[in-house]
Each structure stands twice: as C-alpha cells, then as structure tokens.
Amino acid sequence: MNIVAQVSDQIVVDVPLLESLFAAEESPYKAVAQAALLCLRKLERRVTPDQFSALMRHEDASTRLSVMNRLGQYTPIKHLVGPLQDKDDRIRSRAFEEVAKRDYKEEVPLDLLLQALKDENILVCHYALNAITNRGEEELVTDYYDEEGVPFFPHLAASPRQDIEEFPRESKIWDDGLLYSFTVITEPELPKRPPDPNEEFHAMDDAEMEVLRKRVSMGQLLTVLEWDDADARLQALQLLGERTPEDRLIATLDDEYSVIRRKGLQLFGERTPTRLLGTALADEDPYVRDVAVALLRRRQDLISEHEMRALLECRDGVARASVIKVLADRIPEALLMAALGDSEEDVRLAVFDVLRQTSPETLALVVPKLTATFKGTESSEILIPPANSFLADLMANMEDLPPSWLKKLTRLLGSSYWEVQVKAAQALGRIRRNIPKEAIERLQTLRRDSASLTVQTAADDALAEILSLETDSNGAP
C-alpha cells in the first residue's frame, strides 16, 4: 500500500479500490493501517461525488462513518442528502455539520432540516438549527430557544438523558495528523545531525591537535587505538588522520562505537573497498550511513558492473535501497524491474521512485497490475518473489518438513530473483536432513554457474551443511 501511495498520481481511483483502503485502515496491524491512511490522504481529493455516494451505501456503518469523516468535507452538498438520513446518528451528525458549514446555496430541502430538529441525537439538532439560522429563517426556530437565547429541544428534555459516547470530530484532520506525527520517533540521545557527511562529531580544536601531535608519537597513537576507552580511541583516530594505516581503518569500521566507525569511514574516503562500503550502507547508525551514501555518490562513475551487482545484493534492505537511489542512472532496467520483487519495502519504493524519474512509461505499465492486485481482482508476478522469500524464511524455521515442501524449496532455487535463491539455499542448509537429490544438484549448479556471487556463496554454504551431515552419518559407528 505504501507503493500504491507513492504512485497515487497514476492510479485510477474507483470504488473497489477505495473500499479496500477503508477496510485496511481498520486493520489491527499498525503498519497496514498507516499505509492505508497514507494512501487515502493522497487520493481523497480525487474521489468523485458519485464514488462518495456509492461508498455511503456500504452495508457497514463504521465504513460509512470513515468515508464521511474523510471525504465529507470535499463532497458537494447535494450529495450529502443521503447521509443526512442515514440510520446511524453519528453519520447524520457529521453530514449535518457539513451542511451547517457549507450550505450557502440552500441545496438541502428545508423540510429535511426542520425534521432534523426532532432527531434523537442532540448534535444533529444543533447543526440543523445552525443551518436554518444561516439561511435567515430564524422565525421558524424561535420555539427552539429558551428565554436566555440558549438552544432548547423539548423532545430531548422530556426523555431521560443519554450519555454521548463520542463527540463527532469537528474535523477529521486532527487525529490523522496526530497519528502521523507519532510514526516519526526522535532519539534524544543522538547528536544533532551535522550539515553534511564531511562534518565530524566531537571535533578537536586545531590548536589542541597541533600540540598533541607534537607530544604524542604515531606509535603511541596506534597503541591507543587498542584501548577500551572509546573517547581515547576517537581522539587517537582524529590525531592520526590520513596517517592511519589501512588495516587499522578497516578495524575502525567494525568498532562498537558508531562515531568511530563514522570517522574511520571519513578517513578511508574513496579508498573504501566496495565490500566494506556495502557494510557501511547497512550500518545501524544513520550518521554512518550518511557518510557511506556520500562516498558512493562521489565514486558512482567508478563502480564496475560487478561491484554494482554486489552492492545491489547487500544483506540489508536499507543499503540496497540507497544503492538504487544513488546509482539510478547506471542500473539496467532489467535489474530495476527484478528488484520490484525484493522482500524489503524500502527497496521496492526506491525502485518506484527511480522508475518515476527515469522510465515513466515502464511505471505506467506496472501500476495498473499492482492496483488490481491490491483490489483482489488479479495477481501480479511482481509480488511472487517477496511471497516466496517469506515462504523460504518460514520453512527454514520449521522442523520435519513434508516432502512437498522440500520440493517447493527446490523449485525456489530456480527463481529469477537472487534473494529468493539465497533464502531457499539458506533454508535447505538449515534443514540439512532428507534433502532431495535434485536440490543438491541445483545447489551445485548455482555454486558453479550463478552470475551472482551472493547466490554462489549461499549455495556453497548450504552444500557444506548438507554434505557435512552426510559425512557425519557415514562415519558414525
């Protein structure tokens, strides 16, 4: 659904799509509900009055209420006549609220407004009273004010008071905005983000660095790099600067202290090996990732085809998404289209952003298929690889798989997307027992012939696990 939201400008809005989105908005899964909310926010102004009327005929009252809350303010008054007579009083009150605000042309029949003055819901009565007053028909409602000019509804005063469980929202925007704001969490412990990746945290004063460099030898600084004190290690790295030996820089990229990893990456610069750059792109710290992305951008023209493929197969989805965004102009369209089958949503969204900029005609062919899949009217081949990746992960964590499932894993080794092949190989390597001969033969072929080094490695690892079990079994007394 996040993908649907990203390409909302190219989606054909229809009633089945909207019904699916409103249903998803009520999902107990927060990620699904928020994604549906994002879609609706982007599509709401494109909903036609006729589509609104069709949605308001939905059999579920909660769905009708959601439609009214989200789309009511954009709907012409004449299309609100139906909701004004809805059997659910919450919907009636929201509809009358819109009429009280916007019925400038007096499109709602006066008889309907007068009838609403006797509604069982006090909010409906109040909004109807305001709508009539706004028309200049005060003489028709004089009986509904007491001596002090306060609205008074005799039929409600004569009946036992009913507590109102929920006051309808004055506007539907406030709760959506509040929900949206809580999806972004700021960690107060993190330092303020520097203006660019070349800046550093906890920088030393130039005069202080000059004095220390004269007093402390390079050998002593290299020794400090081995200390447990993280602040001391950082200062030593700052003093060494470009004099830091390459093997020590490589060690800093694996330091437990993220500021040291970041400084080491800055010092390594464009000399950073592609393998280590891919690791840095997947770093858990966003400030380390910022430096890695900047380095990749600076050397993008020097990245070979082999290195580009290796980066596109990083273990981390955030890293793969960053590579796609930075190397967008160099990645063949076939690889981009294949990446739409990635298991990570960040990767799929990055591909859609790139296609929107570089190949809108290709995107125009993809969007209708995804929209139809979301509505449940057809399936899309694009979504098969991520589903297969999920199945492979699931089977990898199960015991005593039936033969039919092992055959499924064997078939997944022939997937067109590298990630599915890797996950299938990893699953077979974890299962180890009762692996079909065909699976072993396919793993051997992938280890030897696959164009992907990642797939080759996964196949080799799986074979080592499977064959080691056979060796242990043959050697047992």
Into which CATH architecture does domain 206-366 fall? Alpha Horseshoe (1.25)
Assigned CATH topology for domain 47-177: Leucine-rich Repeat Variant (1.25.10)
The tokens for 141 are 């409602």
**Topology of the domain comprising 383-475:** Leucine-rich Repeat Variant (1.25.10)
Q: What is the pLDDT of residue 91?
A: 95
Say whether 383-475 and 206-366 share the same fold.
yes
- Determine the pLDDT at residue 319: 92
User: What pLDDT is attached to residue 472?
Assistant: 57
- pLDDT in tens for each of the 477 residues of the chain? 666 666 666 778 889 989 988 998 888 878 778 888 888 888 899 999 999 999 999 999 999 999 999 999 999 999 999 999 999 999 999 999 999 999 888 899 999 999 999 999 999 999 999 999 998 888 898 889 888 888 888 888 755 544 444 444 443 333 443 333 333 333 334 445 555 676 766 677 777 777 787 788 888 889 988 888 888 888 888 899 889 999 999 999 999 989 999 999 999 988 899 889 999 999 988 889 999 999 999 989 888 888 999 999 988 999 999 999 999 989 988 888 889 889 998 898 899 889 888 888 888 888 787 777 767 666 667 778 888 999 999 999 887 788 899 999 999 999 989 999 999 999 999 998 889 999 999 999 999 999 899 999 999 999 999 988 766 555 544
- Which pLDDT value is given to residue 198? 66
Q: Where are the domains of the chain?
A: 47-177, 206-366, 383-475
What is the pTM for the complete model shown?
Answer: 0.62
